[in-house]
Amino acid sequence: MRSTRPCRLAALACLSWLTVVACGEPEAPSNPGQLVIIGGGLSADNTEIYERLASLVGPEEHWAVLPTASATPETAGPLVAARLREHGANARVIDIRAEDLPKARDPDYLEAIGQARGLFFTGGSQDRIVGVFRPEEGDTPAYQDMRALLNRGGVIAGTSAGAAMMSNPMIQRGDGATALTLGRAYGANRNPEDGISIDKGMGFFPYGVTDQHFLTRGRLGRLIVALEATPFTRGYGIDDDRAIHVDLGSARIEVLGGPQGLLLLDSSDVRRDRDGQRGLRVALLGSGDVVDGLSGRVTPARGKKPLGRPPGILHDLPTFDDAWAASVIRELILLLAQNPAREAVALEPGFELRFEEDNATQYWLAPDQDAASLTVIGLRLDVLRRDDI
């Protein structure tokens, strides 16, 4: 894993678009706005997420859907608007596409943004969103109006690419399966085979790095690299058909959509071990679980109770041979939580990921729920180069 931590703060201090605190701690809440950040793959019948979207805007006002990220904006925008209407929200499309840079300064489109109570960014490529609203020459009036919308208590939501763009810096692209080996890619002509590309994001979410399709596509490796390469100490990996609702006025972050919706990665106490890292912390959270965006403290959903360890003689769990296969990290964490073991291991070509219980680890579950709904807090993660073990 390429090491970027020793020099990263000095390098990032030169970037005028960086809006996070230099030492990696989130800023105090500064506005009453709301965010709904959806990991992608939102099913039409996920009523918990759609009902939250509808309630945040209310029946008297409307959502404006922006298909800017999509390669097929002519269908992506109307589809999202129709889904919102099916769940009781008012919605219309503001058709600003990736090639429509002048529209981000056009008074008619600015008026349409200003009239909305909520803005919804579809999936696609997060580069398209940033390229239109925050181009190299400077932030557009449309972007400033989006900030103003949050400042007056409005809502910004996004799915897939619309989730990745929420932080600043953002994960631009990169293969989760090779992230630890390749590290961060630098330079103007960055390719996926060069590593994880990190660049300017929209910066609506001030509490960490956001990533999408997270557990389903095995993206933990690239979030580890992103925390090394930015001032943030926490990463929010949101899975398919799941979301987080962020109240910017209180820094309250609630998980929506079902169990195992969010993997929260904390590097506050990490230390480097040659090319690896020791002391990362992982939480696996589901509907109703809440994170304090400022402190990272997790409050389990109402009704959940702390669990003791399962009885029995400690034994070794099977080693997972492909750490980045679909949902492997989820399966590993749940297996560890339900068995009398203290650690579980997943392998990737260059590194071993060792998940371990210690005194900081907690498991919570409601009496009427099965183990799939476990809340897991404070699991230790060491990422070690296999040659060094």
* 94-115 pLDDT per residue, tens: 999 999 999 999 999 999 999 9
pLDDT for res 23: 41
pLDDT for res 73: 97
* 15-25 pLDDT per residue, tens: 333 333 334 45
Structure confidence at residue 226 as a pLDDT band (50, 70, 90): very high
- Co-location of 252 and 319 in the same domain: no
Looking at the DSSP bridge assignments, the partners of residue 343 are: 356
pLDDT over threshold 60, residue 192: no
Whether 26 is covered by a domain: the verdict is no
pLDDT over threshold 80, residue 189: no
Structure confidence at residue 10 as a pLDDT band (50, 70, 90): very low
- Co-location of 295 and 315 in the same domain: no
β-strand pairing of 170-173 with 63-66: unpaired
- Co-location of 63 and 156 in the same domain: yes
Listed residues 268, 299, 330: the one ending a domain: 299
Whether 14 is covered by a domain: the verdict is no
pLDDT for res 29: 56
| Distances in whole angstroms, Cα of residue 201 to Cα of each of 41, 85, 114, 286 | 21, 29, 21, 26
- Co-location of 87 and 210 in the same domain: yes
Q: What is the mean pLDDT of the chain?
A: 90
- pTM for the predicted model, two decimal places: 0.91
Listed residues 275, 299, 323: the one ending a domain: 299
Nearest to 113 by CA among 135, 138, 88, 144: 144
Q: Exposure pattern of 84-121 as b/e (b: 16+ CB <10 Å)? A: beebebbbbbbbbbbeeeebbeeeebbebbeebbbbbb
pLDDT for res 233: 97
- Co-location of 278 and 348 in the same domain: no
Q: The domain containing residue 378 runs over which residues?
A: 311-388
pLDDT for res 312: 82
Q: What is the CATH number of the domain that holds 216?
A: 3.40.50.880
pLDDT over threshold 90, residue 361: yes
Whether 13 is covered by a domain: the verdict is no
Structure confidence at residue 13 as a pLDDT band (50, 70, 90): very low
- Co-location of 57 and 186 in the same domain: yes
Listed residues 299, 319, 337: the one ending a domain: 299
* 296-319 pLDDT per residue, tens: 999 999 999 999 887 788 888 999
* 37-87 pLDDT per residue, tens: 999 999 999 999 999 999 999 999 999 999 999 999 999 999 999 999 999
Whether 254 is covered by a domain: the verdict is yes
pLDDT for res 20: 35
pLDDT for res 25: 56
More reliable by pLDDT, 235 or 176: 235
Provide φ and ψ at 121, rounded to 5°: -95, 125
pLDDT over threshold 90, residue 288: yes
> Measured between alpha carbons, how far is 245 from 266 in angstroms, rounded to an integer?
19
As for how many domains the chain has, the answer is 2
> Measured between alpha carbons, how far is 21 from 230 in angstroms, rounded to an integer?
11
Is the peptide bond preceding residue 206 cis, with omega within 30 degrees of 0?
Answer: no
Whether 305 is covered by a domain: the verdict is no
* 242-262 pLDDT per residue, tens: 999 999 999 999 999 999 999
- Co-location of 128 and 212 in the same domain: yes
pLDDT for res 22: 34
- Co-location of 235 and 320 in the same domain: no
Whether 202 is covered by a domain: the verdict is yes
pLDDT for res 374: 96
Mean pLDDT, rounded, for 128-137: 97
The helix (H) or strand (E) run that includes residue 78 is: helix 73-86
pLDDT for res 84: 97
Mean pLDDT, rounded, for 117-125: 98
| Distances in whole angstroms, Cα of residue 213 to Cα of each of 116, 169, 180, 262, 339 | 28, 18, 18, 10, 27
pLDDT over threshold 70, residue 8: no
Mean pLDDT, rounded, for 149-174: 96
Whether 2 is covered by a domain: the verdict is no
pLDDT for res 258: 97
pLDDT for res 184: 84
